[in-house]
Every structure is written in structure tokens, then in C-alpha cells.
Amino acid sequence: MSVDPGCPQSLPCSEAPNCRDCSPVPLTYGPEEDCSSLPMSSAELLHTETASPLPYAMDLLTQDSPDSSTSPKAKPPDSGSGESTVKKEDTKAQVKKQKMRTVFSQTQLCVLNDRFQKQKYLSLQQMHELSGILNLTYKQVKTWFQNQRMKSKRWQKSKWPKNGNGVTQKGSAPPDYPGLHLNCSQGCMGNTPSNPPVRNSQAWNPAWSDQAWSSQSWSSHSWSTQTWYSQAWNSSFYNYGEEPGQPYVQFQQNYPVSDLETTLETAGESLKYFGTSQALDLFLNYSVNMQPDDM
């Protein structure tokens, strides 16, 4: 379908040669996009798109790849339970499904990163929401955060080995893992100042039961990004209805993430002087206050 071609929008990140980041959708090379929880993999419905028909990708895909992009039904309808999808095991699954590496767009990384700065742990719902917003699957978001946690851990370790006794220095503030994808904040948003994004750092404690924290309970503006995203989206494109039944999948279908990207970019344009986080936050607040009519 309409696979947004290059990037019509003039992204400030023009400097980056790899402008494929402009694409809001992850370049998934292959089938996949499961979605153990989402009723339907938003990614699939949208266009998780094997955006770039890479030769090798196609190669490998040919074997069994359901090609999520083209076939929305690639994935067995595991409506509900999920793993119950015993699928065609009759073939004994002789063909080991090849692993495919999704390449997230800069925008996605940007958002993920930004979020990670604030929260190392997302609740189930938050992950779902985020995944919806970013046009990723819950699993992908989950994996990303997991990998990110490990990465930051490694980073901290290397930066802050041990105190001799094997006790990490706790006295001093733990080095906040610099969100890696700096290119995002500096490239896309084109901001320069080294802004400490740690302002709303509400470290999510794994201890707190996630379930107890239905994102709605804390959707007050104390939280920014996530809430903002959803609200912005809902208020902008949907009637703010927020039916429990249909999360973000809906608007996604009608509004490809490219919109989000555009939006973010727009925000970036105006807020390029701020750090990514700040820009996002500001934009968030801004958008939240704006009613659909105003926009």
C-alpha cells in the first residue's frame, strides 16, 4: 500500500545520511510481529512494512514469511490467549524460523529513549500504549526496554565498576545512562545543549505491581510523555473516546505513524532549542491543552 516513500517532511536530521530514520515505521525484515497481548498486532495492520525490500530480507522471507506487511493475517488470530496458537506444527516446524531484526526508526528510538530516561520499567499497559503509538508490538517495546536495561546496566558497570568489595557505590548518584541514541536528540531535534533529561525521573519500581497502576490512575499531568502521546493522539484524531475496547489501533489504521513523526518533527521545529525530552514534554503539554478543535 502506501508505504510512505522517503521522507517528504524536511527533517532537521538531514545531516544524517541514513534518512531511513525518517520512516516512522520499523523496518522489519521479515514476518513476525507477533503480539501476544494486543488483539491485533497494530504493526501488522498498519504497515510494519518491510519498508525496504532488502535483497537478503526477501531472500529469507521467501521461505515462509507471512510477510506481515502484505498479509495482515499473516499471524494466526490468537485472539485473546495468544500462545494457544499451536499453528501448523504439523510440519514439525522443520524450518527454524529465522530471526529478523527490526530496525527501528529514529523517531521510534527517540521516543523510546526519551521514555526510558524517565522510566526504566513500564507497566504492561504503558507498554501497550507505547507500542500502539510507535506502531510497534508490545513485544518489541518490551524487548527494547529489556535490552535497554541490560545495556544501561553494562554501561554503568563499565563506568562504575565496583567499589572493591563488589559494592557499587551507592552514595553517589548512579550515573544516568545517557540515552545512547544521541543522534536522536541532536540529530533530529537539532538541539545542542546537553540537557539533563532527568527532571521527571519517576523511576518505576518493579516492586510496585504494575497492574495496580492502571495507566489511567496516574495519567495526571505528573506524567508527561506517555500520557501525552496518547492524549495528543486521541484528542487530535479521535474523539478522546478512549474506549477500553479499542486502544490506539484504530487511529493508527487511519493515521499512520508518519503523522506522529510529522507531529514530532513539527514540534521539533519549534522546540529544537530544547532537549528532546524537554521538547517532547513541552509539546506534550502543549498538545494536551489543545483541543481537537484548536488543532
The residue (of 11 and 100) whose beta carbon lies closer to DNA is 100
Q: Mask 168-187, x = binds DNA (CB under 7 A)?
A: ------------xx------
Q: Are 186 and 192 in contact (CB under 8 A)?
A: yes
The C-alpha atoms of residue 95 and residue 82 are separated, in whole angstroms, by: 21
- Minimum distance between the CB of residue 61 and DNA, rounded to whole angstroms? 9
- Strand, coil or helix: what is 88? coil
Report the alpha-carbon distance of residue 58 to residue 46 in Å, rounded.
20
Beta strands 102-103; 27-28: pairing state: antiparallel
* Residues 227 to 266 in contact with DNA, rule: CB under 7 A: none
Closest approach, Cβ 295 to DNA, in A, equals 32
Distance in Å, CB of 28 to DNA, minimum: 6
Site string for DNA, 89-118 (x = CB under 7 A): --------xxxxxxxx----x---------
Q: What is the DSSP letter of 106?
A: H
Q: Give the count of residues interacting with DNA (CB under 7 A).
A: 40
Taking residue 169's Cβ as centre, other Cβ atoms within 10 Å add up to 13
Rounded Cα gap, residues 83 and 67, in angstroms = 20
**Residue 257 in grid coordinates:** 505513524
CA distance 82 to 237: 29
Comparing CB distances to DNA, the nearer of 83 and 90 is 83
Footprint (CB under 7 A) of DNA, residues 117-146: 121-122, 124, 139-140, 142-144, 146
CA 276 – CA 186 distance, rounded (Å): 8
Minimum separation from the CB atom of position 270 to DNA (A): 28
- Collapsing DSSP to helix, strand or coil, 3 comes out as coil
Q: Binding string, 199-228, against DNA, x = CB under 7 A?
A: -------x---x------------------
Please, what is the minimum distance in Å from the beta carbon of residue 127 to DNA?
A: 8
Tell me the residue type at 116: F
Interface residues with DNA (CB under 7 A) are 18, 20, 26-30, 32, 54, 56-57, 60, 97-104, 109, 121-122, 124, 139-140, 142-144, 146-151, 153, 180-181, 206, 210
